Amino acid sequence: MTPSTPASLRVSADKSTGVAVLTLDRPEKMNAIDLGLADELITTWRELRFDDSVRAVVLTGAGERAFCTGLDRSVEVPQPGSPYMVDDPLDTIGPKANDLWKPVIAAVRGMACGGAFYLLGEAEFIVADSTATFFDPHTTYGMVSAYESVYMAQRMPFGEVARMALMGSAERVSAQRAYEVGLVSELTATGGALAAASEAAAVIASYPTEAVQGTVRALWAAKEATRASALAHAPHLVSLGNLPGDRQAGLFAGRRREFRVR
Distance, CA of 207 to CA of 49 (rounded, Å) = 18
Does 239 have pLDDT greater than 90?
no
Of the candidates 153, 41, 51, 170, the one whose C-alpha atom is nearest the C-alpha of residue 98 is 41
pLDDT, residue 137, reads 96
Does 190 have pLDDT greater than 50?
yes
Does 2 have pLDDT greater than 50?
no
> pLDDT grade, residue 6 (50/70/90)?
low
Residue 82 lies in a domain: no
pLDDT, residue 255, reads 81
Q: How far is CA 119 from CA 60, 125, 143, 240, 243, in A?
A: 10, 11, 19, 24, 25
Report, as an integer, the average pLDDT of 191-208.
Answer: 98
Residue 81 lies in a domain: no
Query: Facing residues of 173 across strands?
Result: 134
Report, as an integer, the average pLDDT of 35-39.
Answer: 96
Amino acid sitting at position 56 = A
Report, as an integer, the average pLDDT of 142-162.
Answer: 96
Q: Is 235 left (phi over 0), alpha (psi -120 to 50) or beta?
A: alpha
Say how many domains are in the chain: 1
Residue 196 lies in a domain: no
Distance, CA of 24 to CA of 107 (rounded, Å) = 11
Domain assignment of residue 261, given as a range? 1-73+87-190+207-262
Mean pLDDT of the chain: 94
**Which domain CATH number covers 238?**
3.90.226.10
DSSP classification of residue 84:
T
Residue 29 lies in a domain: yes
Residue 80 lies in a domain: no
Report, as an integer, the average pLDDT of 102-119.
Answer: 98
N-terminal to C-terminal alpha carbon distance within the chain: 41
Select the more confidently predicted residue: 206 or 245: 206
Does 82 have pLDDT greater than 90?
no
> pLDDT grade, residue 98 (50/70/90)?
very high
DSSP classification of residue 93:
-
Residue 141 lies in a domain: yes
For residue range 38-62, what is the model confidence (pLDDT) as tens digits? 999 999 999 999 999 999 999 999 9
pLDDT, residue 76, reads 84
Say which residues have a Cβ less than 8 Å from residue 161's Cβ, sequence separation at least 6: 149, 152, 153
Does 168 have pLDDT greater than 90?
yes
Q: Are 227 and 150 in contact (CB under 8 A)?
A: yes
Degrees to nearest 5, angle at CA 183 with 178 and 187: 60
Residue 195 lies in a domain: no
Residue 3 lies in a domain: yes
Does 5 have pLDDT greater than 70?
no
Does 4 have pLDDT greater than 60?
no
Kindly provide the residue ranges of all beta strands, DSSP E only, lying in 2-153, ordered along the sequence.
Answer: 9-14, 19-24, 56-61, 66-68, 104-108, 111-113, 125-129, 133-135
Select the more confidently predicted residue: 83 or 152: 152
pTM to 2 decimals? 0.93
